[in-house]
Structure 1
Amino acid sequence: MDRISPPRVRRAIRSLASLFVSFTAGSIRGVERRTPGEVDYRLARQHLISEYRKGRLAQHEVCDAHPELMRAARECAQPSREDCPICEAHKLVLVSYVFGPRLPSFGRCITSAKELKALSKRSGEFSCYVVEVCPSCSWNHLARTFLLNPARSA
């Protein structure tokens, strides 16, 4: 019987292992499936909250929402089930902005899922930015970004 050299064995094992191991976000238990091109900022958020709780950042440094973002949070945001990680007194709201062709340079604030769906049907590449905001203490953080029509823009 021929003996297989150790490097060949290692290569064979690696190629077999790659058939059974998935490196996608969907393969991790508890991670929800997302759209292609989506960027989630949870790690950056957790780091910022951790630094605040350790006393390395003051409240005025993390609760600094722009007045226009606060107006959008009061008037056209979607409610969230999450409490504010800073003041812990109010629920966060989600403000969504879309940027793309034939939209204002400052983006368009989305007020409903219907409006978002209509924009996703238009031609061109549209990016959506979802910001979580506390209407009480002005905490804000970019939650995620994604392409509205990833199949057409690819």
Structure 2
Amino acid sequence: MADSMAAAVGVQPEPASTVDYRLVRAHVLQRILCGTRMADDVCDAHPELVRAGREVGTPAGEPCPVCHGDELALVSYVFGPRLPAHGRCISYAAEIAKLARRKGRFTCYEVEVCPDCRWNHLLRSYVLQPR
């Protein structure tokens, strides 16, 4: 899986603030493989998330785990003071470093999304702090 956008520009999570959702992801994918969950149930990304994945997402470097398409992308959203209530979609890596330097507590959520089949899953969340 690709490294986080934050790590690429010198931002690291606040100690003990990272929540990793890889085990939940593995469980969901296992349920799809054994037939106890339908792919249609989890391939339900919001159209804006699909658009963000297609237009500003970072290539994940691996195929979609559901449809095996090549388009799996990572999308980062940041929430915090003086940002819109719906957060800010990070469209370039330096933007996250800029936000980390601002006063206040900013939380980043990294989501993987497949524009082809609309698979999406929250990968991790963390509080930003400059390195």
Q: 2:111 aligns with which of 126, 131, 141?
A: 131
Shift of 1:112: 1.3
Q: TM-score, normalised by structure 2?
A: 0.85
Q: Is the 8 A contact 2:79 2:88 kept in 1?
A: yes
In structure 1, list runs of 5 or more residues that go unmatched. 1-33
Q: Aligned residue for 2:40? A: 60
Post-superposition Cα deviations, 1:93-149, rounded to whole Å, max 9, x if no partner, equal 000000000000000000111000000000000000000001110000000001112
Alignment of 1:119 onto 2:74: no
Q: Distance in 2 between matches of 1:58 and 1:133?
A: 17
Matches within 5 A, 1:1-154: 35=13, 36=15, 37-149=17-129
Residue type of the alignment partner of 1:100: G
AA of the residue aligned to 1:99: F
Give distance in 2, aligned partners of 1:89 and 1:78: 15
Post-superposition CA distance 1:8-66 (Å, at most 9, x none):
xxxxxxxxxxxxxxxxxxxxxxxxxx732111100000000000111111121010000
Question: Amino acid of the residue matched to residue 109 of structure 2?
Answer: Y
Q: Secondary structure at the match of 1:64?
A: coil
So what's the TM-score if we normalise by structure 1?
Answer: 0.73
**Greater gyration radius:** 1
What percentage of residue pairs aligned between the two structures are identical? 53
Which structure 2 segments of 5+ residues have no match? 1-11
Structural RMSD (CA): 1.5
Query: Which structure has the higher relative contact order (CA within 8 Å, separation 6+)?
Result: 2
- The CA distance in 1 between the partners of 2:71 and 2:34, in whole Å, is 22
The 1-side partners of 2:121 and 2:59 are apart by: 15
Higher helix content, 1 or 2: 1
Counterpart of 1:144, as a letter, is: R
1:150 Cα deviation from its structure 2 partner: 7.8
